[in-house]
Amino acid sequence: MFGALFEGLKFAFKKVTKLSIPYFSLEENDLRFKITSDYSFKYPISNIETKTRHDAYVLDAYTLKTKEIYIEYIHTYSDATWNGQAFGHFLSLLKENIGAKRFELIDNYEFSHYQFQTYFVDGSYYLNVVYLYEMNKDIFVIDKKYSLFQALLKNFKKDYKFSFEEKFNLDLDFNFSLVKKNSINNYFRVTSS
């Protein structure tokens, strides 16, 4: 009887522990993305430049960039909420930052906590964007090429292949942040009680 009770508690503990694993984490020189409760996709990165971001509504935030990838990670306080759609705010700020006149969505996939989108910018180059969301956490990933985008998306859509011309703009230098611009654009507010 005690053995069955112990096994039941052990099973419940494992389930709760697996559910609490974050969908995104940065460990050493690896990005980790939770795909299932048992599997996390690991993507190696190097030559990382990070900047910590601060705001009254934010518990933890930073931007990270490499030659091909730009990430903004935002963990808000539990009593803070977005004034609108977080991903929409990010895309607007991205378009403003690169001065895009045309930002054409050509591919869109959604799975669980992930949204994958490919844009054709000004009829010139492609930009891949991944949006992940967790409880009070929003993670925005821009892949200037498609290596992370394609590898991560293949965890959900095994037959995915980037089927467009390889037109990329690796010279883009992202240095924007929703957290940094919050004082001007009011992206966050305190939740009403």
- Where along the chain do its domains lie? 24-187
Distance CA 133, CA 85 (A): 12
The pTM assigned to this predicted structure is 0.87
pLDDT band for 9, please (50, 70, 90 cuts).
very low
| pLDDT at site 2 | 53
Banded model confidence at residue 12, pLDDT cuts 50, 70, 90: very low
User: Is residue 18 very low, low, confident or very high in pLDDT (cuts 50, 70, 90)?
Assistant: very low
Model confidence pLDDT, tens digit, residues 28-40: 789 999 998 889 9
pLDDT of residue 6: 45
Phi-psi region of 10 (alpha: psi -120 to 50; beta: other; left: phi over 0): alpha
Residue 8 has pLDDT above 60, yes or no: no
Cβ 180 vs Cβ 90: under 8 Å = no
101 Cβ partners below 8 Å, 6+ apart? 122
Read off the amino acid at residue 107.
D
| Tens-place pLDDT, residues 157-175 | 999 999 888 899 999 999 9
**Cα distances (angstroms) measured from residue 35 to each of 70, 140, 147, 187:** 21, 16, 17, 29
pLDDT tens-digit map of 86-137: 999 999 999 999 999 999 999 999 998 999 999 999 999 999 999 999 989 9
